[in-house]
């Protein structure tokens, strides 16, 4: 498929946006940029940025906008030159959305679509309490103990690293992440709705079906 796009993917924690982003990046030959993955890599390498981010991430709070901004600029400009991207996990505040809009304007990189993968709160809690993640910074594959289990229990299918439960996937932190999403990130949806860029998809159901719904909408828009 050759629809070149600069896409944003949004949704509450556990909506499956990371899973969809990986598949869409492959299908559409886009660079996949996940700010959560980038931050977790920074933590693993013990960088100053990682150390700063960790205290916020462990609590389920957002990393401050002034830390996120420069990090995103660096990765995004590179990715857009390489032929388009799907940005997963940014923007998460209206300030970040404004920052991104300014940046994109300066570099003449249009955002073509904002994909909103929506799931209800109960689904978020059910999914995150069954989530296992590969801690290998180069892999970061995600599994669900029941719906998408690894072939060997507790082992990553791709790199065989022992799977872990992310610190911010514990019950208490998940509840806080949902609140943070509702207060700080949900208003970003209105920001893009007002610019006629927002497309909302039902994030419940089979992974494949959701991907097909997204691809069909993107193809229609590109036709």
Write out the DSSP string of 200-214: EEE--S-HHHHHHHH
Name the minimum Å distance from CB 179 to ligand AMP. Answer: 12
Among 11, 84, 89, 150, binds ligand AMP (CB under 6 A): 89
Q: Which of 96, 75, 94, 102 is nearest to 86 (CA)?
A: 75
Question: Smaller CB distance to ligand AMP: residue 62 or 214?
Answer: 62
Q: Which of 100, 107, 76, 91 is nearest to 186 (CA)?
A: 91
Among 20, 96, 113, 132, binds ligand AMP (CB under 6 A): 96
Taking the C-alpha atoms of residue 42 and residue 26, their distance in angstroms, rounded to an integer, is 24
**127 counts as catalytic:** no
**195 counts as catalytic:** no
Phi, psi of 221 (to 5 degrees): -65, -30
Q: Which two tokens stand for residue 143?
A: 């599994």
The reply to whether 68 sits near ligand AMP by the rule CB under 6 A is yes
Judged by CB under 6 A, which stretch of 19-27, 41-49, 89-97, 121-129 contacts ligand AMP?
89-97
* Given 40, 78, 92, 158, the catalytic residue: 92
**166 counts as catalytic:** yes
**92 counts as catalytic:** yes
The reply to whether 177 sits near ligand AMP by the rule CB under 6 A is yes
The reply to whether 168 sits near ligand AMP by the rule CB under 6 A is yes
Taking the C-alpha atoms of residue 145 and residue 46, their distance in angstroms, rounded to an integer, is 29
The reply to whether 60 sits near ligand AMP by the rule CB under 6 A is yes
| 58 Cβ contact list (under 8 Å, min separation 6) | 167, 168, 173
The reply to whether 144 sits near ligand AMP by the rule CB under 6 A is no
**158 counts as catalytic:** no
Taking the C-alpha atoms of residue 73 and residue 66, their distance in angstroms, rounded to an integer, is 12
Among 12, 36, 84, 150, binds ligand AMP (CB under 6 A): 36
Q: Which residues bind ligand AMP (CB under 6 A)?
A: 13, 35-36, 39, 56-57, 60-63, 68, 89-90, 92, 96, 168, 177
């Amino acid at each position: 498929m050759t629809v070149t796009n600069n896409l944003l993917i949004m949704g509450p924690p556990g909506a499956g946006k990371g899973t969809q982003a990986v598949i869409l990046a492959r299908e559409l030959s886009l660079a996949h940029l996940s700010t959560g993955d980038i931050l977790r890599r920074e933590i693993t390498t013990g960088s100053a940025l990682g150390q700063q981010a960790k205290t916020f991430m462990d609590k389920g709070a957002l990393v401050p906008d002034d830390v996120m901004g420069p990090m995103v600029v660096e990765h995004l400009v590179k990715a857009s030159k390489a032929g388009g991207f799907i940005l997963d996990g940014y923007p998460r505040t209206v300030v970040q959305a404004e920052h991104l809009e300014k940046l994109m304007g300066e570099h003449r990189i249009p955002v073509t679509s904002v994909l909103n993968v929506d799931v209800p709160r109960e689904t978020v809690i059910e999914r995150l309490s069954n989530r296992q993640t590969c801690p290998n910074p180069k892999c970061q594959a995600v599994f669900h103990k029941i719906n998408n289990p690894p072939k060997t229990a507790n082992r990553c299918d791709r790199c065989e690293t022992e799977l872990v439960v992310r610190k911010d996937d514990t019950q208490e932190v998940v509840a806080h992440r949902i609140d943070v999403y509702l207060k700080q990130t949900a208003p970003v949806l209105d920001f893009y709705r007002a610019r006629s860029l927002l497309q909302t998809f039902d994030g419940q159901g089979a992974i494949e079906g959701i991907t097909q719904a997204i691809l069909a909408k993107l193809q229609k828009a590109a036709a």
